[in-house]
Chain A
Amino acid sequence: MGDFCGIRIFSRIKATACTAFLGIACLLACLPLLLAAAASLMPKDELLWRYLSPLGIGKAPVRAALLPSYPTLGAFGELLFWSPGFFVMFWNSCIQVFPMLFGQLLVAAPAAWAFARLDFPAKRVLFGTYVWLMVLPFQVVQVSNYLVLGQLGLLDSHLSLILPGIWSTFPVFIMTRSFEAVPDSLLEAACLDGAGEVRAFLLVGIPAGRPGIAAALVLGFLDGWNALEQPLAYLKDVRLWPLSLYLPKIVQDKAAVAFAAGMVMMMPPVLLYLNGEGELEQGVAASGVKE
């Protein structure tokens, strides 16, 4: 009996240690975000008092805080009403991301359906090529994309980011995996009801494959919203820059609103994640798990 108790205590200690480790890891993951959130709520003079040297204005010891002493939404107000530059860049980010996602949906969904549900020659080779293209780092295609875009006269325009983005092969891959999981019986039922292949795809396939489509869109949004390499390479005109390029510059112009700008920028992806937590996880899982 005593032995049994010993094991119980030992396993209790082990469980506590595991929880503590996990808790610390989560805390470390969230701490920088909390710092950013707190700083965005500080009035200007508190920011200057606490973060003079990180803002690059002067030199003084940092006095970091997870709670502002005088919380205010002043910085957000100034950002929204008195920073036209920020608005332009926010809008640029939207223009570059949303049409791209829409295009991905139009192009990738039927292609994925073909890969998942139809039989045709050279399917494996073609799909293998898609996967391989998905895996290549941006730098490999950077110069070739640049040359093509130059020839099409698209450099220094929003289209230079939108068009190559639409034909990213990643959404095809994710959607294929979820279309493969659509049960055959659903499609057979549709066929019995007299639906052709195209109608079966539109009316049965798309609703049934929704999780994969959503996952592809969520991941596509995150990638597009954070894009740095592509705009850096293809957009010389500062007026076309997305938020991700503009944000580091805002510190020089308006230190007081820099933290608020960062918060506004992270809001859409964070809210999207918190709302569509399942989709993101599913997307990552789909890209990782093979039978």
Chain B
Amino acid sequence: MQQRKKKRKQALLAALFLAPSILGVAVFMVLPFGDVVRRSFFDAMGESFVGASNFRAVWENGAFRLAARNTLRFGLTAIPLLFTLSFVLSLLVYRAQKLQRAYKISLVLPMVVPAAAMVLVWRIILCADGVLNQVLTRVTGKVWELDWVTGRTAFLVLVLTYLWKNMGYGMLLWLAGLCNIPRSLYDAARVDGAGGLAQVRYITLPCLRGTMGLVAVLLVINSFRVYREAYLLAGSYPDQAIYMVPHLFSHWFLALDVWKMSTAAVILMLLAAAVTAAGKAVFCIRR
């Protein structure tokens, strides 16, 4: 009896504590989101049910295809690169005996710096008269006068700025996983005569399986933020090579194509769920 009363009291208290949060989340996220799902099945005026025809229309839309393809291409290039590079860096930082803090700070700083504050620096490096071309001219002996941001090379630029910005984030995620591995495991392995690489192979990697899945999922989600850099570097109408899903959304948004946005949002959400599920399945994260 006492037990049940206590349980009731706890539930009541929880409701009290949660109410402000749940109310706001409902108003700003859940309810409008329900509206979006509804709109994705209705016509442009939001009045009559049209079934899956919106999905077909968006799926066949040329701009959507281009944006989806580019986003996928970007993800498949940048994320694996960031995934492995940040892992290597985190290992090196973890093992560094001196200056560990300095390494960490200098790798994380780019993540902290607002993208808008860096636009001019990127131009110094990447414009036709810029540093990169000068270096390339000196190294190759040929004259380079490429404007890296406006042409097809924009894709490369975007990948590199993404790496620059998020390396610290990835590194911190890995580092958190590394710090959870008990030191005694390494000591035991060293006694057994395992070298540095063998320790990574037989201790670090197996222990980090859960972290791997999470890092992968978080990086995929974070990759959408690259729109900030893309927008700041190349504006709302960039080269076709970096026309991504967020660009598409902002154009539909300007035209107030609500049904298209709603439909694409639902598709995107399903994809996000699929990515998360795949990440969980592949690396079998235990909860």
Contacts and interface: CB of A to CB of B under 8 A. Distances in A.
A215 B177 CA distance: 18
A134 to B, nearest CB: 9
A166 B29 CA distance: 12
B130 A226 contact: no
Contact of A51 (B13, B119, B124, B231): B124
B32 A288 contact: no
A108 B249 CA distance: 29
Given A26-B106, A133-B29, A62 B21 contact: no
A148 B32 contact: yes
Most chain-B Cβ atoms within 10 A of its Cβ — which of A114, A143, A289?
A143
B116 A141 contact: no
B268 A25 contact: no
A136 B245 CA distance: 14
Interface stretch (A74-82, A181-189, A274-282): A274-282
Nearest to B260: A143
A246 B92 CA distance: 39
A32 B125 contact: yes
A248 interface: yes
Contacts of B120: 36, 39, 51, 54-55, 251, 258-259, 262
Contact of B20 (A107, A113, A121): A107
Interface in B4-36: 7, 10-11, 13-18, 20-22, 24-25, 27-33, 35-36
A197 B13 contact: yes
Interface residues of B, dominant DSSP: helix
Interface in A159-182: 163-164, 166-167, 169, 172
Given A18-B95, A143-B253, A148 B268 contact: no
Contacts, number: 297
Interface string B92-111: 11011000011111111111
Interface in B142-193: 164, 167-169, 172-173, 175-177, 179-180
B17 A289 contact: no
Contacts of B7: 119
Contact of B96 (A22, A36, A136, A201): A22
Contact of A273 (B92, B109, B124, B287): B109
A102 interface: no
Interface in B263-281: 265, 268-269, 272-273, 276
Contacts of A119: 7, 10-11, 14
A118 B224 contact: no
B198 interface: no
A22 B98 CA distance: 12
A107 B21 CA distance: 5
Given A120-B10, A288-B214, A248 B116 contact: yes
A245 B114 CA distance: 11
A96 B161 CA distance: 27
Contacts of A243: 114, 116
A28 interface: yes
A144 B36 contact: yes
B1 interface: no
A9 interface: no
B200 interface: no
A118 B109 contact: no
B276 A135 contact: yes
Contacts of A280: 108, 112
A254 interface: no
Nearest to B268: A140
A285 interface: yes
A67 interface: no
A270 B211 contact: no
29 contacts: A19-B96, A22-B89, A32-B164, A53-B130, A54-B120, A61-B134, A133-B25, A139-B224, A139-B249, A140-B33, A140-B268, A141-B29, A141-B36, A142-B253, A143-B253, A147-B32, A147-B35, A167-B28, A197-B10, A228-B228, A243-B116, A244-B115, A247-B116, A247-B119, A248-B116, A251-B120, A265-B116, A285-B175, A288-B215
Q: Which 7 A-B pairs have the closest CB atoms?
A: A144-B32, A285-B176, A167-B24, A111-B21, A262-B117, A54-B123, A120-B14
Interface of A: 14, 18-19, 21-22, 25-30, 32-33, 35-36, 39, 51, 53-56, 59-62, 64, 106-108, 110-111, 113-115, 118-121, 123, 126, 129-130, 132-133, 135-148, 163-164, 166-167, 169, 172, 197-198, 201, 222, 225-226, 228-229, 232-233, 243-245, 247-248, 251, 258-259, 261-263, 265-266, 269-270, 272-274, 277, 280-281, 284-285, 287-291
Given A60-B129, A110-B20, A232-B250, 12 more contacts: A22-B96, A32-B121, A35-B124, A59-B129, A135-B272, A141-B36, A262-B116, A262-B118, A277-B105, A281-B176, A285-B179, A288-B211
Interface of B: 7, 10-11, 13-18, 20-22, 24-25, 27-33, 35-36, 88-89, 92-93, 95-96, 101-125, 127-131, 134, 164, 167-169, 172-173, 175-177, 179-180, 196, 210-211, 214-215, 217-218, 221, 224, 227-228, 231-232, 245-246, 249-250, 253, 258, 261-262, 265, 268-269, 272-273, 276, 285-287
